[in-house]
Amino acid sequence: MVNLIILAGGYTNFIATYLFNSTSSNLTLLGQSPSGENPSWIASHPTNKSILYAVNEAFNGLGQLQSFLVGQDGALFNVANASSGGDGPAFVNPLSTGEVAIMNFGSGDGKFVPTKEDPLEFDDTAPVVTFPTPEKPPPSNFSRPHMALDVGSEVLVPDLGGDTVWRLAKDNITGEYKIQGQLQQPPNSGPRHIAVKGNTLYTIHETDSTLTQQAIPQDPTAPSPMIATFNITPPNPPPQAQFAAAEIRLLDSSPKFPKAYIYASNRNIGPVPAPEGDAIAVYEIRGMEFGGDENEFLVAAGNVGEAGTIVMRRTNGGADLEMVAQNTEILTRTTFVLLQQ
Ligand SMILES: *[C@@H]1O[C@H](CO)[C@@H](O)[C@H](O)[C@H]1NC(C)=O
Ligand SMILES: *[C@@H]1O[C@H](CO)[C@@H](O)[C@H](O)[C@H]1NC(C)=O
Ligand SMILES: *[C@@H]1O[C@H](CO)[C@@H](O)[C@H](O)[C@H]1NC(C)=O
Ligand SMILES: *[C@@H]1O[C@H](CO)[C@@H](O)[C@H](O)[C@H]1NC(C)=O
Ligand SMILES: *[C@@H]1O[C@H](CO)[C@@H](O)[C@H](O)[C@H]1NC(C)=O
């Protein structure tokens, strides 16, 4: 039996809290905590699950990073905010250095916000890191940083507009993050999110719905050819379907799930809603997150449509997914944090 508290952000003014009970397969909405505008991405502190970070995906200088204390039954209390330094922040990730990375999808820049002794408090003096403008004709002449992942002493930032993954490192003298190289991606592929295992980079590309694999060379200026490219468009797509890859999770093997798997979600952003059937292909999956013992459960939702939030169980050693619970009280969600009780 497992009880999971599920925190779920989206394009609303609140972060929802659900309780999932694996024995009854009940997914219950416990409450909605006020969050300000569009908490479209949320992330837990790496070692203290009582601390949650969220974006306010807002424009006109209102993009923000927020911290919350997670209370009893997953209720959230806002403690501090810091400016994201740009527009439309769609991603936040606390780094192992104690800084919290926030990437401004809308303005092609981002910030690494240091936290104070209490990781709920921000030092709001960090400079903005601006990514180079891609040499593309308008309206594609914008950098679109979509994520930040720390790998060793580097931070990797996939840039959907620039078709590249930037390699950043802290300048030893100024302590500021600087671009020191890049991992080039195929033209117009739209790299959105990444996962790393050892020195292998897996990238999910939104525009051409592919998953690619390449090495991360030790030298940040060295080129890195693709080792493999997979098309992740579902077979027999419904009429007028238009897929846009969204999310990637790489799960290592464990006793119950002997193989490591990559889970890639795909949204159908076409004009015609897809018929019911296979949950992953049908529901326009946007956010997804794993939790429970050995990451047995996957929580997913769409950013459009009416599927609400669903819980799936990994079956067949992790090769398949089976839907076990659904809650449609809130129709769309984009991001999850799972806390085991
Ligand atoms: C599931 O949750 C609903 C609403 O909270 C409750 O009425 C019901 O008894 C629960 N079912 C089980 C099997 O726990
Ligand atoms: C943080 O920002 C939100 C608006 O998004 C606001 O409601 C809240 O009062 C702010 N919190 C603090 C601690 O300033
Ligand atoms: C987690 O952070 C909160 C808020 O700073 C703090 O009160 C609590 O003691 C921390 N818990 C652990 C286990 O460090
Ligand atoms: C992209 O091109 C438009 C139109 O020429 C221009 O107004 C805009 O400043 C350019 N964007 C960037 C980031 O250079
Ligand atoms: C910082 O110093 C280390 C060695 O002390 C070096 O390996 C690294 O390349 C330096 N980083 C930068 C960004 O200068």
Ligand 3 atom nearest to CA at 50: 1
User: Which residues' Cβ are closer than 6 Å to ligand 5?
Assistant: 169, 171-172, 180
Nearest to residue 76, comparing CAs of 22, 5, 4?
Answer: 5
Q: In the sheet that 64-70 helps form, which strands lie side by side, from edge to edge?
A: 42-44, 51-56, 64-70, 76-83
Cis-peptide into 139, omega within 30 deg: yes
Evaluate: CB of 118 within 6 angstroms of ligand 3.
yes
Ligand 2 atom nearest to CA at 62: 5
Secondary structure element (H or E) that encloses residue 311, with its range = strand 309-315
- Buried-state track 101-123, b at ≥16 Cβ within 10 A, e below 16: bbbbbbbbbbbbbbbeeebbebe
* Ligand 5 site-directed mutation target among 172, 177, 178, most atoms within 8 Å of CB: 172
The reported pLDDT for the residue numbered 121 is: 98
Longest dimension (CA), the chain: 57
The reported pLDDT for the residue numbered 157 is: 98
Span from the CA of 54 to the centroid of ligand 3 (angstroms): 18
The reported pLDDT for the residue numbered 285 is: 45
Evaluate: CB of 29 within 6 angstroms of ligand 1.
no
Span from the CA of 24 to the centroid of ligand 1 (angstroms): 8
Along the 341 residues of the chain, how does pLDDT read in single tens digits?
A: 789 999 999 999 999 999 999 999 999 999 999 999 999 999 999 999 999 999 999 999 899 999 999 998 999 999 999 999 999 999 999 999 999 999 999 999 999 999 999 999 999 899 999 999 999 999 899 999 999 999 999 999 999 999 999 999 999 899 999 999 999 999 999 999 999 989 999 999 999 988 899 999 999 999 999 998 988 877 777 777 777 777 888 878 889 888 777 888 877 776 655 543 333 433 334 566 778 888 889 898 877 777 889 999 988 887 788 899 999 999 999 999 999 87
* Ligand 3 site-directed mutation target among 49, 51, 118, 121, most atoms within 8 Å of CB: 51
Q: Can you give the length of the chain in residues?
A: 341
Phi then psi for residue 103, to 5 deg, are: -115, 130
The reported pLDDT for the residue numbered 69 is: 98
Nearest to residue 8, comparing CAs of 244, 308, 250, 313?
Answer: 308
Q: How many CB atoms lie within 10 A of CB 198?
A: 8
For residues 189 and 208, the answer to whether their CB atoms sit within 8 Å is: yes
Q: Which two tokens stand for residue 216?
A: 């991360």
The three-class DSSP label of residue 74 is helix
Q: Nearest 10 degrees: CA dihedral of 5, 7, 67, 206?
A: 140
Evaluate: CB of 80 within 6 angstroms of ligand 2.
yes
The predicted model scores a pTM of 0.92
For residues 334 and 286, the answer to whether their CB atoms sit within 8 Å is: yes
Strands (DSSP E) contained in 171-303 are 177-184, 191-197, 200-205, 210-215, 226-231, 243-251, 261-268, 285-291, 297-302
The reported pLDDT for the residue numbered 301 is: 85
